Amino acid sequence: MRNAPTILHLDMDAFYASVEQASKPSLRGKAVVVGGLGPRGVVATASYEARVFGVHSAMPMAQARRLAPNAAYLVPRFSLYRSVSEQVMALLRELSPLVEPLSLDEAFVDLEAREAAWDAESARRVGTRLRADIRAVTGLTGSVGLAASKMLAKIASEEAKPDGLVLVEPGTERALLGPMPVRTLPGVGPATGDHLRRAGITTVGELAEAGEDELVRLLGKAHGHALYAMALARDDRPVVAEREAKSVSVEDTYDVDIHDRLRVGVEVRRLADRCVGRLRGAGLSGRTIVLKVRRYDFSTLTRSETLRGPTDDPAVIREAAERLLDSVDTTGGVRLLGVGVTGLADYTQEDLFAQAAQPTVADEAAEAPKEAAADPVPERPEPAERQWRAGQDVWHAGWGHGWVQGSGLGRVTVRFETPLSRPGRVRTFGVEDPELEPADPLPLVPDAERLPRAQGDGPASAVPGTVDADP
């Protein structure tokens, strides 16, 4: 282990919910819950205001609504989250070439790789400046942990939440860990925690006192050795620079099972187009198209088809996904669909004419009985009402940019505001109003606002907009 706290762990605070609050002035300081809004939905992130009521990630959305009925419940907007994440990761890469992202809102950084820090004082300066830069560039807050190991840096950032910095001085690690619950250590889940509790071990200090032999007896050789080392604050894992993506995919889970075969086909084509958007956004192409289908009985099927060469052509990928769907029985209903691309490259095969008609690799089936014939396709689909989801960005020809507060009974309620405006007015429209259409999210901080603050001028207050607040 190192002799200086030069491993940094950044964890953005309630990331999805904080992005929503920054994007929607009327929700700042209020309880916000982001996740799936249907009966099967789960909480992805809850703001700190919502956590006061006991709402937390991975909780069923129905339970969250019972605990915090007055919170704002919003669908995720991953395109915006990815955009903000890219800004944050760019700041981390300015500190070091060794950045190990764990998710959109979390990463390790090796500060020694570019000599950004070499002792406790320089590491603290880097962490303090990073937090200020993140606030300046994104308007959000992140918590920073600094330590001589990845495990301790991650624990330190958790102790720093929200919006703080904790540095673990070398030599103090065991004193910090000792009184902490065993669940603090990575790899100790509910089952292992209960097993240790039944053996009278509830803290990390008690874990260390139990000794390696006892832990091996209780948990097995590999797990026992690993936990004993962690209890002694031993962790020599290096920070590993971000790896190249192995696949690009999108998927949707539906609140109500889809039984209409034509609707399933429409969804697959839509997912294929979204997948192409992600491919092109990353400057990639792919050779193998993958379809994922989770059916009404929770059985999951995957089908794949490998083309002659990598492509980012939406027509080719869409047609391949449709052919894969032809081999899947959707009788009984579908609850999840996904389209992905693997075999990635940073170029495209120019001569792809007719390759879609000649697949070279077949299907992979999982956890499902033998397939039956596909449902017949109806000649004409029934007209569907436009769907508006809470939190979705919209544009109205007369009112400008806004977001959906709710919809139902043929009406949709929209609040018109932007990240830099004051809380905006609320208006209600028919769901088929021709002047109302979906829109892309607005950036949290305009480019013109970023540079002066990122150079050290400190956080600026929001710039007043032109939208009046409700009386």
Distances (CA, A) of 112 to 2, 4, 10, 237: 10, 9, 16, 14
The structure tokens listed for 214 are 């006892």
Q: Is 106 one of the annotated active-site residues of the chain?
A: yes
Beta-carbon count within 10 A of 294 CB = 20
Residue 103: exposure state from Cβ atoms within 10 A (0-12, 13-18, ≥19):
exposed
- Give the up-direction half-sphere exposure of residue 305: CA atoms within 13 A in the CB hemisphere: 21
Amino acid at 150: K
Strands 300-311, 285-295: parallel, antiparallel or unpaired by DSSP? antiparallel
Q: State how far Cα 407 lies from the chain centre.
A: 25
Phi first, then psi: give them for residue 407, nearest 5 degrees.
-155, 160
Amino acid at 286: G
Cα gap 341→203, rounded to integer Å = 45
Amino acid at 469: A
Q: Is the dihedral of CA 439, 444, 449, 454 positive or negative?
A: negative
Q: Are 15 and 162 in contact (CB under 8 A)?
A: no
Catalytic residue among 49, 100, 106, 173: 106
Length of the chain: 471
The secondary structure of residue 14, as a DSSP letter, is T
Residues annotated catalytic, as ranges: 106
